[in-house]
Structure 1
Amino acid sequence: MNKSPLNISHKPTVASAVPRRLTIRRLNTAILTAAVFAVGISGCSQPEPIERNTAEYKLVTADDANEDIGTYIIPQDTSILDEPNADSILYGKRLLNETKRLLPDNVGASMNCNSCHIAQGKIPLGDPYINSFNNYPKFMPRSGKELDLTARINGCFQRSMNGKVLERESPEMIAMLDYMEWLAQNTPKAQKVDINNAGKVDESLVGDPVHGEKIYHAQCATCHGDNGEGIKDSRGDIVFPPLWGDESFNIGAGMARTYKAAAFVKYNMPMGIQTQGLWGHGNVLSDQDAVDVAEFFTHMPRPDFAGKVNDFPSGKKPKDVRY
């Protein structure tokens, strides 16, 4: 393996842009420019980002995350226009932001892909897409087999979207794959960006749904509704996704699991409270509060998923799986 320093970057297109180095280990004390990332809060129908400063992350070998071999810089979206498949990449970007509106036959829930992938998949701890293109194929315990990225995306359509799979060679699937490949910025397969997909919460904690309901109404209901119904705009497009009910993700989705949902909530919600860092980029609730509110909303009524009978064939089912 070539372990020489490797820079993978696009130069910022704004003359005043000055990338600032970040490492995941110092994330909680770093201040990022909100203008780059404000498009990715929760499940909003996201506007185009204002591109100013961007952020750097360490590039490391896939087998030794402590070996720093170079730098990855989050690319500015204007650089998509330099790519030979720019139309497909831009279409993929739109599909991830506006999934329900653009693919109504495949999306049963009132959800967009970026309801759970913050800032178009560019934010640490917010389920970023940055390493997705290189991470697959990989073995998935839930299915008990190796899945490629196409199958992983279709799993989200079936579960998080409570919908139907896309044809593997459809222009829509190819466009989403093209966006994720572009976001990887030619990072070699044997290397990865040192960025965490999700935070952690103490899984020894027992959730209290009664307390969690109080937290929900104090911190979450303004955006997600008193009855978990979410908010739509006057055209019927999603502003904030529903957290339970017929239009929410189904029971087979990862977000229907208490501890997975708690980690997402702790590090990404609620909105509009932080005075430093990303707009609404979490770290407001304690682990216990996050587990409590997740225990509340994950156990509220939601669509079933018939395919759940085939999950975890090894029998090693995580304790927060509801079926």
Structure 2
Amino acid sequence: NYGSVAANYPKFRARSGTVESIYKRVNDCLQRSLNGQGLDSSSIEMQAFIGYISWVGAEVEKGKTAKGSGIISLPYLKRPADPKFGKVLYAINCSKCHGKNGEGLKGQPNSGDFFINPPLWGKHSYNQAAGMFQLSKLAGFIKTNMPNGINSQQPYLKDQEAWDLAAFINTQSRPTKDISKDWPNKASKPYDYPYGPYLDSFTQRQHQLGPFGPIRAFWEKKQSVK
């Protein structure tokens, strides 16, 4: 995804309802996905981020995306994603790298306080404002990237397993963040955005775990009669 950023920013994003700069995009990652603090746009650290992102995307044409970027969209399940099934799958496929309790794996003693494998829940994980807290994004990422080392063209997990794993991970405790200003146009919220208010009558639980097909059908019908 880094490869496509320089070619596509500034960019309008429905989540904020504004045209965002590349600096805003970096700080969103720091504050949401890493649950950290934002950086001043003139700081050495921010300039290092921008320099790296620009270098990685130097050969991507303006307005285009780098080959292989983005997260795949998995077919929706006809049932809710099941955290109970996901818990079993996590113990078998994920706990070795991410910890029995989702705490992640840190470096060797005296090598610095950093994670080799990131925590998936708990106080050091991504917060509930992160993109990965949308079930479809986490499930799509898991499908083509996990367990670590797989060939993305030959996934190891079945679609339903990726959904159930994502459901287990995203129903665990994690840091919170003020999201009151997210999605100012409520009609643009993703089907799997797990927090209201919503402009439909589906429950928060269904927006979080599905099934998402009925929600999509409702909105497609609503938009078709405009």
Counterpart mapping for 1:1-323 below 5 A: 128-205=1-78, 206-233=80-107, 234=109, 235=111, 236-272=113-149, 274=150, 277=151, 283-306=155-178, 308-316=179-187, 317-323=189-195
Flag structure 1 segments of 5+ consecutive residues without an equivalent: 1-127
Q: Which amino acid aligns with 1:212?
A: G
Residues 212, 295 of structure 1: 8 Å contact kept: yes
Distance between the aligned counterparts of 1:216 and 1:282, measured in 2?
20
Letter in 2 for 1:301: S
* Cα RMSD for the two superposed structures: 1.8
Q: Which amino acid aligns with 2:194?
A: R
Q: Which has the higher contact order (CA 8 A, sep 6+)?
A: 2
Amino acid in the other structure paired with 2:103: E
Contact 1:243–1:249 (Cα < 8 Å) also in 2: yes
2-side partners of 1:202 and 1:283: how far apart?
15
TM-score, with normalisation over the residues of structure 2? 0.78
Contact 1:139 1:147 in 2 (8 A): yes
Percent identity between the two aligned chains: 37
Preserved CA contact (<8 Å) 2:10 2:21: yes
CA distance in 2, matches of 1:312, 1:254: 13
Per the TM alignment, residue 228 of structure 1 is displaced from its structure 2 partner at its CA by: 0.5
1:150-198 superposed Cα distances (whole Å, 9 cap, x missing partner): 1011111111111211001111111111111111224442554343311
TM-fit CA distance, 1:314: 0.4
Structure with bigger helix share is 2
CA shift, 1:204, in A, is: 4.2
Contact 2:6–2:22 (8 Å) recurs in 1: yes
Aligned 8 A contact 1:213 1:296 in 2: yes
SS in 1 for 2:12: strand
Structure 1 residue 298, shift from structure 2 partner: 0.7
Summarize the Cα distance change of 1:192–1:301 in structure 2 as closer, same or farther, 3 Å threshold: closer
Deviations 1:1-55, CA, capped at 9 Å, x for gaps: xxxxxxxxxxxxxxxxxxxxxxxxxxxxxxxxxxxxxxxxxxxxxxxxxxxxxxx
